[in-house]
Amino acid sequence: VRVLIVYAHPRDDSLCAAALSRAELGLSRAGHEVEVRDLYRLGFDPALSRGEQAPPAESAEATSAVADDVRLLRWAQALVFVYPTWWGGQPAILKGWLDRVLVEGPALACWGRVNRTRPTFGDVRHVVVVTTHGSSKWVNALQGEPGKRVMLRGVRSLVSWRARSRWISAYGLDRSSDTDRTSFLDRVEDFFSSL
């Protein structure tokens, strides 16, 4: 399986960084091909520009700015996101990746009626999210887990409703123990080594 990992955390010593390493370890052990987009390291600019917000006919600018991301999307069979949940959702740098890449022009085409779109990449069969939460599971449940909805309803429905999805998350990190963290990392590696 060809796997594209989109990764967003500013610190190398974070639990997300450790989760990324363990995901890569599991995937390489199982013999999968992996490409990582480390958005902080790439200095990815998350703000959709004026030109990109223009109607698609004018948005050649959009397509070229995210050409590498679109090429990798077309190549990928599994789409993996690794990030900390802040304010219930994706860090801005990753939200910007969705805003700029998964839009008409770069990665989507219009289909029939005006607000129907389909991807111009075709072969994604897995959408996987690995994410960490400072607050507890019930606080997140109370807030409605907005970031989970964006990924598992929004992004997955765009990719394909037939794509399999998986949500691997750690909650309550503000008070977690080393055992909690280790068990989360083990779950991550286990999942990817049997993808």
List contacts with a second copy (CB under 8 A).
9-11, 14, 40, 44, 46-50, 52-54, 86-93, 95-96, 98-99, 102, 113-115, 134-136, 139, 142-144, 146-147, 149-150, 153-155, 157, 172, 174-175
Kindly state the smallest distance separating residue 29's Cβ from a second copy, in Å.
Answer: 30
Q: Which is nearer to a second copy, 22 or 133 (CB)?
A: 133
Contact 1, 32 (CB under 8 A): yes
Instruction: Provide the edge-to-edge strand list for the sheet that holds 2-7.
Output: 33-38, 2-7, 78-85, 126-133, 164-170
Kindly state the smallest distance separating residue 27's Cβ from a second copy, in Å.
Answer: 26
Q: Give me the torsion for CA of 122, 147, 86, 93, rounded to 10°.
A: 30
Q: Which residues pair with 81 in a beta bridge?
A: 6, 129
Q: Which is nearer to a second copy, 162 or 175 (CB)?
A: 175
d(CA 152, CA 157): 7
Q: Which is nearer to a second copy, 49 or 182 (CB)?
A: 49
Q: Which is nearer to a second copy, 113 or 162 (CB)?
A: 113
